Amino acid sequence: MYSIVRSLIASAVLAASLVQAGEIPPRTGVFKVHTGPIIRGMITSFTTPTTVLIVPVEMEFALMPNLSVHADAMPGLIETRTASLGLLTLGGGARFYLTGRAPDGLWLGAGASIALASAESRSGVGFDLTPEVGYQWIFDNGLTLSAGVGLSLTALTSKQFPIVVLAPVGFAW
């Protein structure tokens, strides 16, 4: 975790130096909350005896005019009447912006993640690689909306539904 924080700080310092050099626009960082898992968890919690609390967040930083990197974290808890499952997914990736300037516009990217799960006396680890495409809008007031889709290669190879929908809301600075 310490190395992730150091990497985020180093990325912010690099982005700030590029802004001073006039090479990228002032809004180079975005903090986002991915709304889909939160809403799905709320619906599940209200309609079944299962409680789902998942809060996925993301930090994205522009490194060059059309290149950004992102770090993701998704802590979670799932409880039923008989069991409890703790989750933590950590990931990151890069996005190449085809239009606009990073982190604003049409992008192609890829992400990698590691998922840790623990339930009573059992635990597990999973990995995933996800090619993605999307569009991100940064408004004058900093409000950020994003929409995209990805293809989970782990789900694809295990014959599960592989489409990942991305719909985060955030704030850019």
- In one-letter notation, the amino acid at residue 86 is G
- 114 lies in which domain range? 2-172
Average pLDDT score, the chain:
90
The domain that holds 91 is classified in CATH as 2.40.160
**Which is it for the CA torsion 3, 69, 156, 161, positive or negative?**
positive
Give 135's DSSP letter: E
* Tens digit of each residue's pLDDT (9 = 90 or more) over 70-87: 999 999 999 999 999 999
> Where residue 124 falls among pLDDT bands split at 50, 70, 90?
very high
| Position 23 pLDDT exceeds 80 | no
| Position 165 pLDDT exceeds 70 | yes
| Position 5 pLDDT exceeds 80 | no
| Position 116 pLDDT exceeds 90 | yes
Q: State how many domains the chain has.
A: 1
Query: What pLDDT is recorded for position 16?
Result: 55
Indicate the SS3 state at residue 88: strand
